[in-house]
Amino acid sequence: MTLRPARKSDASEASVLMFDAIEDIAYALTGAEKEEEILPGLALWFVQEGNRLSYQHMLVKEVDQHVVGFILCYHGSEAETIDRPIQERLRQLKNDPSIVVEKEADEDEYYIDSLAVSPGHAGKGIATDLIKAAEEQASRHGYRKIGLIVTIDNKRALDLYKRLGYTLNGEKVIHHSPYYHMVKHLD
């Protein structure tokens, strides 16, 4: 298993995992109205630089030259800037200048936007490896706090985050769904 920064060539496999991770939020970020429009929309954002869903913000876990897990991270202070291209595209696509991409990250945290492991590789420590790599990345950049959101009913993920030292820090509603906001203070 190899842990590495994502590459543009990972778009196809990473987009499938990303859709698994963000589910309904994918419709909001791509402007898709049908499920078959989601993967091409995610792949398009993935290969473009300077946006929230870009490969530039992602680490992947690879097995036999296939992406089997990913983690997407950025600092909360960058959120407005990296959401702007998505917001502008959605405004154009929907002909609605009032569209705003919902902000998930707090300004003072390194943010785990999304994380997924393919079903065939679940339970093998891949998610833990990816989270630890994100924490190391945050520390290298001098960030002392890392945050994430998790759907309230995802007990397995919630238990993993708690085991790794994340604590509940309130709730957020993103795209009409409730999430727990969790944080961890880094040494």
Q: Bridge-partner residues for 185, per DSSP?
A: 145
pLDDT at residue 187, rounded to an integer: 82
Q: For the domain bounded by 2-185, which CATH number is listed?
A: 3.40.630.30
pLDDT at residue 28, rounded to an integer: 87
Local confidence pLDDT in tens for the 187 residues of the chain:
899 999 999 999 999 999 999 888 899 889 898 989 999 999 999 999 999 999 999 999 999 999 999 999 999 999 999 999 999 999 999 999 999 998 899 999 999 999 999 999 999 999 999 999 999 999 999 999 999 999 999 999 999 999 999 999 999 998 888 999 999 999 8
**Entry pTM:** 0.93
| Spatial separation of the C-alpha atoms in residues 112 and 135, rounded to whole Å | 9
Cα–Cα distances in angstroms (integers) from residue 145 to residues 72, 110, 130, in the given order: 16, 6, 16
Residue tagged 């496999």 (tokens): 13
In 3D space, the residue among 111, 84, 98, 97 whose CA is nearest the CA of residue 166 turns out to be 111
pLDDT at residue 77, rounded to an integer: 97
| Spatial separation of the C-alpha atoms in residues 147 and 73, rounded to whole Å | 10
Specify whether the CB–CB gap between 181 and 149 falls below 8 A.
Answer: yes
pLDDT at residue 120, rounded to an integer: 94
Query: Strand ranges (DSSP E) for the chain?
Result: 2-5, 58-63, 66-75, 110-117, 145-151, 167-174, 177-185
pLDDT at residue 61, rounded to an integer: 98
Total count of residues recorded for the chain? 187
